């Protein structure tokens, strides 16, 4: 991959990230993605095309609305930057058609990561089509439809069962149904092996964050951590380095 192509791919990724920001902002509020155009949440002034350039505009405007000077959240350029880096990484790692599948999957994970962190919800409009599209893709590429189907059933089933047991024992909601659908989607797209790896990695990340927060007294045991956020992190790690992690683990038993 030459340097010029790498730059194009990264720039295209930041533009996609800009669209993901629109999804992140509007999906939880159940607003249309297409209309109206981007505007400042404070003064409602429409964002001019020249102020809508990923990352650059944020820096140029020093993180403030041109019209009312209200601060613009740092999360916008961060999402653009991460999406740009993700596109470059995916282009280096995968060939089409897997590339297309992994990019769609990665974009969904970025949106779910932020939306769960901010709102503690995982919108059905992403997870449900994600299960269907992931399964359909699997007929033409890895992980293959059998692994994908097992991934959906075991992924969704295991979390659903865990939630049921928790509910019977504690008589309260422990696991949201959004997490169940999200893990089923991860199983559909990555297959059951990488889905299990995702579950292990995200539980690991989640417990480290949880223990740290308790240690810092920043929330008691009751404080619900956004498990979908950790699932998204685990899924990105599993989908890029999954093969390496599994081989590394297996090397201890070889």
Question: Which residues lie near Zn ion (CB under 5 A)?
Answer: 40, 42-43, 65, 67-68, 70
Least Å from the CB of residue 39 to Zn ion: 8
Residue nearer to Zn ion on the CB measure, 67 or 158: 67
Least Å from the CB of residue 16 to Zn ion: 24
The answer to whether the peptide bond before residue 190 is cis (omega within 30 degrees of 0) is no
Residue nearer to Zn ion on the CB measure, 70 or 100: 70
The whole-angstrom separation of Cα 122 and Cα 176 is 9
Angle in degrees, CA 43, 47, 51, rounded to 5: 125
CA torsion sign, 215 to 218 to 221 to 226?
negative
Residue nearer to Zn ion on the CB measure, 61 or 165: 61
58 C-beta neighbours (distance < 10 Å), count: 20
Residue nearer to Zn ion on the CB measure, 67 or 240: 67
Assigned token pair, 159: 């979390």
28 C-beta neighbours (distance < 10 Å), count: 17
């Amino acid at each position: 991959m030459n340097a010029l192509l790498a730059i194009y791919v990264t720039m295209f990724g930041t533009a996609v990230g800009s669209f993901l920001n629109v999804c992140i902002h509007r999906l939880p509020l159940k607003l249309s993605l297409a209309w109206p155009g981007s505007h400042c949440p404070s003064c409602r002034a429409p964002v001019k095309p020249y102020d809508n350039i990923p990352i650059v505009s944020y820096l140029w405007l020093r993180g403030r609305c041109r019209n009312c000077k209200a601060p613009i959240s740092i999360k916008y350029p961060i999402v653009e930057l991460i999406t740009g880096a993700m596109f470059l990484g995916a282009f280096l790692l995968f060939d089409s058609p897997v590339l297309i599948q992994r990019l769609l999957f990665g974009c969904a994970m970025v949106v779910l990561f932020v939306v769960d962190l901010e709102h503690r919800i995982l919108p059905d409009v992403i997870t449900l089509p994600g299960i269907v599209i992931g399964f359909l893709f699997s007929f033409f590429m890895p992980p293959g439809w059998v692994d994908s189907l097992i991934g959906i059933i075991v992924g969704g089933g295991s979390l659903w069962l865990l939630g049921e047991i928790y509910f019977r024992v504690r008589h309260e909601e422990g696991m949201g149904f959004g997490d169940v659908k999200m893990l089923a989607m991860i199983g559909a797209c990555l297959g059951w092996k990488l889905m299990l790896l995702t579950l292990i990695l995200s539980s690991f990340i989640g417990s480290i964050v949880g223990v740290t927060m308790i240690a810092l007294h920043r929330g008691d045991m009751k404080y619900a951590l956004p498990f979908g956020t950790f699932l998204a992190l685990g899924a990105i790690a599993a989908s890029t380095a999954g093969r390496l992690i599994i081989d590394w683990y297996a090397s201890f038993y070889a």
